[in-house]
Amino acid sequence: MQCAQKLTDNIYWIGSNDWDTERFENLFPIPLGVSYNSYFIDDEKTCIVDSVDDSIRQEFFDNVEFLLRGRQLDYVVVNHMEPDHCSTLVELIDRYPNVKLVGNRTTFRLFEQFYGRPHPENYYEVKEGDSICLGKHTLHSYTMPMVHWPEVTCTFESSTGVLFSADAFGTFGTINGNIFADQLDFERVYEDEARRYYTNIVGKYGVQVQNAIKKVLPLGIKMIAPLHGPIWRTPESIQYMIKKYMHWSTYSAEKKGVVIAFGSMYGNTADMAQQLARLLSFRGITDIKIYDVSKTNPSYIIADAWKYSHLVCMAPTYNLALYLTMENLLYELKALNFHNHKVSIVGNHSWASAAMKRMVDYFTNQIKDMEIVGTPLDIRGALHQDQLKLFAKLADDIAKSINETEIKTFSL
């Protein structure tokens, strides 16, 4: 059964939703599901912009057949070769043998790597600024390397002002009937998932994201059609999302507040986290998030670490090293190029101390451009009454730092 929806008179959304997959890329929980977006342009020449994941294969082909109405498919633009957007490419070629796959040299190399079926007779190679005229619609190709794969392009349709933006400006979460962001309470329902999507998938490539934004801003964008999540079609919603990407790509905090990430084997470090939160509350700090790194998927902690101005890491020594789930969190932050924030550190040990030193090393030698707030603490075993003064001093330092922090604003 077809479920195509119009973006413009002749451009259609032909995606669908995946409610079954538990983890995106087998890493990130997606309790709200995810949409896979594809687009169809109905013109003298017919064109699909990006394919879909195999999980929605049937819906996709139902939409394609409905919109083709017995005609041939002329082009498939491949902005991104990641398999969740390309799992139906081989079947598209089998069904429409004369179709041209539009991509760059790296696109076709990855296609052959994934599917082992070279189709050079179907390749239509494009470079930066190349155009394809479909009739009334003209497609212009622009490279976006490492946003977030090397072959990524975006495609701008100049007669309607639609930017097909690949994975950029997307979000976790299904599309529930309303496909446009202005039809939704996006900030309440999707913004946290959009941030988690960006920080964990694209976050490493902030400079490349900024370069891509600078490239496409002058085009006169009237609509942004990403590969996941709702479509941006009003000036207000387009500016909103572009500003978010500009903010996130600078690794700047969006809000004053504290994320306390703790690891705890027997509850002692967890108690320290709660005591610090209580002391911060007494000092007027109102936005405090506490996460157990052993129970919460790192993607959620990373997204909030990006959002808030201050991070506190608290963990015990384990096997003469750092508690493993905290080690994993810090490794992921390093891998994603997290920086430009403020951090405080609390270690814990029983007979040999390693955790505090390891966390200090991360935030001084491995994760760059981080300010350590307060003196790192190293508590032996459980927290006792006479040690609360150490946490009171740390809370004083964090509260003072929060109050003095300036949050940047961005404009187009």
Amino acid at 73: L
Q: What is the pLDDT of residue 358?
A: 98
Is the predicted pLDDT of residue 125 greater than 80, yes or no? yes
Predicted local distance difference test score (pLDDT) of residue 289 = 98
pLDDT digits (tens, 9 = 90+) for 169-209: 999 999 999 999 999 999 999 999 999 999 999 999 999 99
**pLDDT tens column, 334-372:** 999 999 999 999 999 999 999 999 999 999 999 999 999
Tokens coding 328: 């994993």
- Res 313: pLDDT: 98
Structure tokens at 164: 């097909």
What's the pLDDT at 411? 79
Q: Any idea what DSSP says for residue 128?
A: T
For residue 410, the model assigns a pLDDT of 83
Return the structure tokens found at 8: 């413009």
Task: State the Cα torsion 63-69-74-76 to the nearest 10°.
Answer: 0
CB atoms within 10 A of CB 311: 25
* pLDDT above 90: percentage of residues in the chain: 98
Rg (CA), the chain: 24
Name the token pair of 274. 């709660």
- Return the pLDDT at 412: 75
- Residue 133 pLDDT greater than 80, yes or no: yes
Compute the distance between CA of residue 345 and CA of residue 359 in angstroms, rounded to an integer.
7
Nearest-CA neighbor of 335 among 297, 295, 367? 367
How many angstroms separate the most distant Cα atoms in the chain?
Answer: 80
Residue 333 pLDDT class (50, 70, 90 cuts):
very high
Computed over every residue of the chain, the mean pLDDT equals 97
Phi, psi of 380 (to 5 degrees): -95, 110
For the CA atoms of 81, 87, 90, 94, the dihedral, rounded to the nearest 10 degrees, stands at: -140
For 385, the 3-state DSSP assignment is helix
For residue 348, report the phi and psi dihedrals to the nearest 5 degrees. Answer: -145, 140
Range list of H helices, 190-257: 191-197, 206-216, 235-248
pLDDT digits (tens, 9 = 90+) for 288-318: 999 999 999 999 999 999 999 999 999 999 9
* Distance, CA of 10 to chain centre: 30
Q: Which domains does the chain have, with CATH numbers?
A: 5-249 (3.60.15.10), 256-403 (3.40.50.360)
Q: What is the mean pLDDT of residues 237-266?
A: 97
pLDDT band at 1 (very low <50, low <70, confident <90, very high): confident
Alpha-helix residue ranges (DSSP H) falling in 10-52: none
Least Cα distance to 311 among 330, 296, 332, 325 occurs for 330
Distance in angstroms (rounded) separating the CA atoms of residues 48 and 37:
11
> Residue 28: is its pLDDT beyond 80?
yes
